[in-house]
Amino acid sequence: MKAAVRTLQRARTAARGALLWGYEQRLAREVAAHGRLPRHLGLILDGNRRYARAAGIQRELGHSFGADKAHEVLQWCLELGIPAATIWVLSTDNASRDKDEIAHILMLLEQEARNLATDPRIHANGVRVRAIGQHDQFPPTVLAALRDLEEKTAHYQGMRLNIAVGYGGREEIVDAVKAHLLSQARAGAGLDEVARSLRPDDISAHLYTADTPDPDFIIRTSGEIRLSGFMLWQSVYSEYYFCDVYWPGFRRVDFLRALRDFQGRDRRFGK
């Protein structure tokens, strides 16, 4: 009797898997047929800790699985030909978390930066990778790994991949304002003159992502419905998609659903 029940359970699992695979293939065809994809995709990778808690595993493993998922999603972006993506790995607000957790995240960041620097996909597809944010307090080995990754991909003209780490949207705007003021001061402009002539484009020109189009689509996992400071300046006309699944559990079918939703929207840019 027990053997028969197990056989039935396996058959049901296989049937569900086949149905999901078929649905995923249909979604892929629909997305490809429509053709309109984000020029710049923003990804807020949220829910690693809650994923670990729900799975009954160590908190650090949630971050490790999240790093593996980021590699997987990079492959999906490459397959679809998405020109630019920014993934938010670590925020400035996260700095107040447990020191052991932050140390583990930074260890993963160093490890993944070194992996990307030698990843055949990066070089075959000409992916230019850059870390954006405030990194002054990072360990020297992490900074060296990020610098090596940036240098090895700096000449590429393919997909742009921004890794937002030690990143906060308010901090980015403050840094952009400071950079503009300093550049004007070096040119001999007085403060009154700078204030009178200041335009939004002056700030945009000094953002971390100044050479990347503003994100037209931002996906956040874990069910939280907020930006939490992600690309505050650049996201003024972005479309948003909030997904209930935790980041390590984010499937290709979830990704394709999000893109299909984006393709069905009428973007009016405030008009």
Q: Which residues pair with 160 in a beta bridge?
A: 84, 128
**Each residue of 211-232: pLDDT tens digit?**
999 999 999 999 999 999 999 9
The pLDDT, as a whole number, for residue 252 is 97
Active-site choice (94, 115, 148, 175): 94
Q: Could you read off the pLDDT of 121-178 as tens digits, one per residue?
A: 999 999 999 999 999 999 999 999 999 999 999 999 999 999 999 999 999 999 999 9
CB 40 within 8 A of CB 211: no
The sign of the dihedral angle between the CA atoms of 170, 172, 175, 177 is negative
Catalytic option among 46, 214, 216, 254? 46
Average pLDDT, the chain: 93
Question: For the domain with range 35-263, which CATH number is right: 3.40.50.720, 3.40.50.10860, 3.40.1180.10, 3.40.50.1970?
Answer: 3.40.1180.10
The reply to whether 226 sits in an annotated binding site is yes
Strands (E) across the chain are located at: 40-44, 84-91, 128-132, 160-167, 217-220, 239-242
pLDDT above 50 for 8: no
> Is the separation of the CB atoms in 35 and 208 below 8 Å?
no
Is 63 annotated to bind ligand? yes
pLDDT at position 6? 56
Catalytic residue list contains 192 = no
Place of tokens 């699992």: 13
**Predicted local distance difference test score (pLDDT) of residue 5:** 42
125 in active site: no
What's the mean pLDDT in 23-36? 93
91: annotated binding-site residue? Answer: yes
Residue 247 has pLDDT above 60, yes or no: yes
263 neighbors 34 (Cβ within 8 angstroms) = yes
Question: How far, rounded to the nearest angstrom, does the alpha carbon of residue 5 sit from its chain's CA centroid?
Answer: 43
Show me where the domains of the chain are located: 35-263
- Confidence label for 32 from pLDDT (cuts 50, 70 and 90): very high
Cα distance between residue 115 and residue 110, in whole Å: 9
224 contact partners, CB below 8 Å, separation of at least 6? 46, 242
For the ranges 8-22, 111-125, 152-166, 248-262, the lowest mean pLDDT is seen at: 8-22
Percentage of the chain exceeding pLDDT 90: 86
Tell me the whole-structure pTM to 2 decimals. 0.91
Phi, psi of 68 (to 5 degrees): -60, -40
Is 112 annotated among the ligand-binding residues?
A: no
Tally of CB atoms within 10 A around 92: 17
Q: Tell me how far CA of residue 121 lies from CA of 54, 79, 128, 149, 164, in angstroms.
A: 32, 11, 11, 14, 20
pLDDT digits (tens, 9 = 90+) for 195-210: 999 999 999 999 999 9
Residue 35 has a pLDDT of 87
Maximum Cα interatomic distance, the chain, rounded to a whole number of Å: 87
